[in-house]
């Protein structure tokens, strides 16, 4: 299974979007699976999409330094997150969870992948988790 497939499966089995992404990608950077699940639990369903928040954590794990004075690594991590945000917003129009959730039940909200209206939030958010995971794979490659 690919990482996006794993993340979507975890989301569909009950983990929230943030947990699904951080638990899938975080272990690659030394984060214990149980810690990833716990630390990302409260980051979903707030102002920012949990998939975006978890992606920021993964990009920090991948691109940042433990040295607080390493400005180059910090700047690189900021740049990678800006790229992620720009591409996410271009695809979905927003990174705000509430706006994304409200979108799934309107006639204006269609998946670019299938051009179909989703019948439930799980289906719609699965597309968000999949897209964020694919974007992370591209950016962290």
Cβ-contact 47, 96 below 8 angstroms: yes
**Which residue did the predictor score with more confidence, 121 or 81?**
81
Per-residue pLDDT, 125: 84
Per-residue pLDDT, 111: 47
Residue 43: band (very low, low, confident or very high) from pLDDT cuts 50, 70, 90: confident
All structural domains of the chain with their residue ranges:
3-140
Mean of pLDDT values over 23-44? 92
**Which residue did the predictor score with more confidence, 86 or 47?**
86
Q: Judge whether residue 123 has pLDDT over 90.
A: no
Q: Work out the mean pLDDT of the chain and round it to a whole number.
A: 86
User: What's the token pair of residue 54?
Assistant: 């978890």
Q: Could you tell me what percent of the chain has a pLDDT over 90? A: 64
16 vs 7: CA distance, rounded Å? 10
7 vs 15: CA distance, rounded Å? 9
DSSP per-residue codes, 30-77 = T--HHHHHHHTGGGSSSSB-HHHHHHHHHHHHHH--S-TT-HHHHHHH
Per-residue pLDDT, 121: 58
Per-residue pLDDT, 51: 95
Question: Whole-model pTM?
Answer: 0.86
In DSSP terms, 48 is beta-bridged to 96
């Amino acid at each position: 299974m690919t990482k996006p497939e794993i993340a979507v499966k975890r989301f569909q089995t009950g983990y929230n979007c943030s947990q699904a992404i951080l638990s899938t990608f975080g272990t690659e950077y030394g984060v214990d699976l149980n810690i990833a699940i716990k630390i990302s639990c409260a980051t979903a369903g707030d102002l920012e999409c949990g998939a975006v928040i978890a992606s920021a954590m993964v990009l920090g794990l991948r691109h940042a330094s433990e040295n607080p004075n390493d400005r180059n690594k910090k700047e690189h991590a900021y740049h990678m997150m800006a790229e992620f945000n720009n591409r996410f917003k271009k695809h979905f129009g927003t990174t705000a969870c509430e706006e994304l959730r409200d979108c799934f039940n309107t006639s204006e909200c269609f998946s670019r992948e299938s051009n179909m209206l989703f019948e439930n939030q799980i289906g719609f958010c699965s597309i968000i988790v999949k897209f964020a995971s694919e974007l992370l794979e591209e950016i962290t490659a």
